[in-house]
Homo-oligomer: A and B are copies of this chain.
């Protein structure tokens, strides 16, 4: 092909670019036995006796975090976003590699704090950092690869949703976006609220154990919510060639967040990114079984499972108000190049 593209990546958008590139990248021969490739949360391929999962994610200063962000939390978050991708495949994370780009005048102690944050969450899930690369650069970028293993029962992918499935999510949505607003605007709340929102933004908890339980309960379609509920449900629908509805009044919003941001809370919950909760679909019985198991397990203490909608024929995500009529929302999800979706 000799297609000429007189277009900036900002016009094409992140997802348009990914679609375009997926036609150019080397696919490898049949012996690669690829189960999930570009366009899923993590790559998956069949090894001798098991399925290997691998994912890569970058945190860029000025894009994903502000200059002056606490280093320990950055380390935690770099691990969390990658573990969340493994969780969205229902897998077991095992090994990590880190590529760190830093200005030369960064304090050595800051980098140690960054790694301590990585270690805190990495040790929680027995993930070993086995390699890396450090280079100087004008802006700080933390890129991490996590390699893991699929469970014997199977993996979760974005492409397995079918019409009639229920749509469910773990945890509460929008808290990370609310935390970001609190921090960037310097808003003040009661200590319990401030602590909850700060942690939601800076220390997201990847749903690794929940993802594994989903697979064991028979769920096969999932995605992690990194770009916002509507955007990520949209990605899952596109990969599965289906549509979906969301009943807006069912979307789980934490009471502390709702009280702190009564005006914004629904917008945050529908379109705010970086919650790193899991969204999954399955038939009613499977969803209820998974809900019961996750909520009954120790890991479910602060992790309810909520049914928020339904998979439909067609395409795209529609919002339904309490009376079943269409509901309109101002913003789309998060696209790294386009503004305002």
Q: A residues near B, CB below 8 A?
A: 4-12, 14, 17-18, 20-21, 24-29, 32, 34, 37-38, 40, 42-43, 45, 47-50, 52, 54-58, 60, 62-64, 94-95, 97-99, 101-102, 104-109, 111-112, 115-116, 118-119, 122-123, 126-139, 141, 143, 145, 147, 336-337
A274 smallest CB distance to B (angstroms): 13
Residues of chain B contacted by A60 (CB below 8 angstroms)? 101, 135-137
Number of this chain's copies in the complex: 2
Contact A130 to B58, CB < 8 A, known contacts A48-B48, A49-B49, A99-B143: no
Name the residue in A105, A109, A135 with the highest tally of chain B Cβ atoms < 10 Å from its Cβ. Answer: A135
Determine the residue in chain B with the shortest Cβ distance to A26. Answer: B122
Residues of chain B contacted by A14 (CB below 8 angstroms)? 134-135
A26 touches B123 (CB 8 A): yes
A99 touches B56 (CB 8 A): yes
Contact A143 to B58, CB < 8 A, known contacts A25-B129, A49-B48, A129-B26: yes
**Given A9-B105, A137-B139: 17 more A-B contacts, CB < 8 Å:** A9-B107, A10-B104, A17-B108, A25-B128, A26-B122, A26-B123, A27-B129, A28-B94, A34-B130, A38-B131, A56-B143, A58-B143, A62-B138, A137-B141, A138-B138, A139-B139, A141-B143
CA distance A108 to B16 in the complex (A): 10
A8 touches B104 (CB 8 A): yes
B47 touches A106 (CB 8 A): no
CA distance A132 to B47 in the complex (A): 20
Contact A133 to B56, CB < 8 A, known contacts A9-B102, A26-B119: yes
Determine the residue in chain B with the shortest Cβ distance to A53. Answer: B131
B106 touches A137 (CB 8 A): no
A256 smallest CB distance to B (angstroms): 30
CA distance A38 to B104 in the complex (A): 21
B139 touches A37 (CB 8 A): no
A-B residue pairs, 3 tightest by C-beta: A28-B128, A10-B104, A43-B130
Partner of A8, one of B6, B107, B135: B107
A106 touches B49 (CB 8 A): no
CA distance A109 to B11 in the complex (A): 12
A131 touches B24 (CB 8 A): no
